[in-house]
Every structure is written in C-alpha cells, then in structure tokens.
Amino acid sequence: MSVHPPLDPAHDVEQPAYRGRWTRRVVAVVGADRLAAVGAVVLLLIVAAAVLAPWLAPYPDDARSATHSLEALQGPSAEHWFGTDRVGRDVLSRVLFGARTSLTIAAAVLAIAAVVGVFLGVVAGYAGGWLRDVIMRVTDVFLAFPALLLSTALALILGPSVTTAIIAIAATWWPWYTRLSASMASTIRGRAYVDAARCLGVSRGRIVARHVLPNSLTPVLVQLSLDAGGVILTAASLSYLGLGAQDPTAEWGLMVQQGQSLFSTAWWVAAFPGLAILVTAFCFNVLGEGLRDALDPRRGNR
C-alpha cells in the first residue's frame, strides 16, 4: 500500500513561465531590438536584390563582358542612376550583380568554415585528451598563418579567382569556429543530459551528433552573423589587391579598386560599391549583435 497521495494527471498540466523554442525567442527579441530588426530587413532586401539581379538590373549585360566605350565615366543620371565606369558599364547593374558575388563568397566561406570548424571543435571538445590536443594544435597553426599571405600563395598556385578567394578565406577562418565550438562542447560534455544519455546506452557518436552538437550551435549562429560582414570585407580586400575576383566579374572590392584612381573625377565608380560593402557588413554586424543579446542566457528567463 502506498501512503502517498494519488497523482491526478488532470491537475498536472501546469504552465511553465516560458514556452517554445529558441527560434521564437530570436524572433521576439530581434523584433524588439530596433537596430537588429532594421539590419535584418535591409539584409533581406540585399539578398532579394542579389537573387533578382537579372531582372532588377537595367543593363544586365554590363555585369558581364559588355563594354560601351562611348558612354564611359558618365555621372549619375536618369539612364544610369549610379553612373558608368571606365568602359561605360552601368554601375548600378554591376553593384546589383556584385551582391551575388559577395553574398556567394560569404555563404561559401562561412559554410566551409562552420562545417569543418564546428565538426572538429565538437569532436575535440567532447573527446578531450590527446585528440583535443592534436586538433587544437593544428588549429593554432592555421590561426598563426597570415590570411593575406596564404591568399597570395593560393592565388599564385591556383590563379586569382572567386573560388581561390573562397578557399583562401575559408582556410584561415575555420579555426575560429573550432575554438568556439570546442569550448562550448567541453562545457556541454559535463551537462547532466549528456551523462543521462550515456546512462541509457547511447553511443558516443550519437551523443555528439544529437546532444553536444545541437546545444553548441547557438554561439556559432551568432558568430556566423558577426563574421559575414568580415568575410565580405576580406573578399573585397582580396579582390582589391587583385587576388580574388577578376574583371569582368562584378565584385564590390574589385569595383572599388577600379574606381579608386578615378575618385577625384568620377567618384561614383568607387563610391557605390564601397557603400554597398559598408551597408552589408554593417547590417550583418547589428544583426549578429542582436542575436547575441537574444540568445544570451544571462538575459531573460532561460
């Protein structure tokens, strides 16, 4: 006979203070953070512009190999809102197509860096011991390598192109994700639910994939957003140095470089792509900071 009161399932559906996933929380907090919300909206517009570039651009051919020598270096006007460059190409069209190049580079670099970096980091952080040491030392070697030097070397070997720029930037970017997720994973490794999973006979691989990884991702998400601006800037500087995208590819950094010497006479050639870099990087940063605040456990009731 039990001396304890019977449990009634009906009285037991108490409502906790906070319901829902972190996604809802992000929407709620980013929504309340004006600057982050503006950043998110502007970024959506930039992505839309990149996707719709062939339809939005007044002179889509100018983003490729077309040249119009007779219309060179015209200032902003009704036909050419952002003016034309040295060979008469419409700057607006090239800025729109440039969004594709820059966003593709950012997405590719961050995807490679995050997948490689997070995988190694989570393994290192969960496994600990010699495996962690090996992975972290390799990571340190890559971190010690100057990004620009590596990019120059790669450009010499592979020839300068967008792909080279992606490889070069990703090669120097992943170690940050390894460090970040290794420290997250080694914290999560000590959480009760990881022990609980072990005690239920869950294998190591599953524990990493289903318990450690999903719970390590929050700071990675924040870092991705904060880094996107940096990657776009780095890609632009590589192109600016002639190590990345090559003419006639429309790429913001390259366009700034092409317009630099003309700045005193035709400011619009460099100014508009430069502004595009600035706005995009800025929006990624404010969004990233908004996300960081939203997901910070010290804020709110989680």
- For the chain, the farthest-separated pair of C-alpha atoms sits apart, in whole angstroms, at 99
Among 44, 196, 209, 300, binds other proteins (CB under 8 A): 196
Mapping DSSP onto H, E and C, the string for 213-270 reads HHHHHHHHHHHHHHHHHHHHHHHHHHHHCCCCCCCCCCCHHHHHHHHHCCCCCCCHHH
Among 133, 195, 209, 260, binds other proteins (CB under 8 A): 195
Q: Interface with other proteins includes 16 (CB under 8 A)?
A: yes
For other proteins, the closer of residues 70 and 192 by Cβ is 192
Q: Interface with other proteins includes 23 (CB under 8 A)?
A: no
- Candidates 98, 152, 53, 61; CA nearest to 270 is 98
Q: Minimum CB separation from other proteins for residue 211, in Å?
A: 5
Given a contact cutoff of 8 angstroms between Cβ atoms, the answer to whether 253 and 161 are in contact is: no
CB atoms within 10 A of CB 49: 18
Among 23, 192, 205, 264, binds other proteins (CB under 8 A): 192
Q: Which stretch binds other proteins (CB under 8 A): 108-116, 191-199, 238-246, 283-291?
A: 191-199
For other proteins, the closer of residues 78 and 199 by Cβ is 199
CB atoms within 10 A of CB 5: 6
For other proteins, the closer of residues 80 and 211 by Cβ is 211
Q: Interface with other proteins includes 190 (CB under 8 A)?
A: no
Whole-angstrom Cα distance, residue 170 to residue 155? 14
- Chain residues in the site for other proteins (CB under 8 A): 1-9, 12-14, 16, 18-21, 191-193, 195-204, 206, 210-211, 214-215, 302
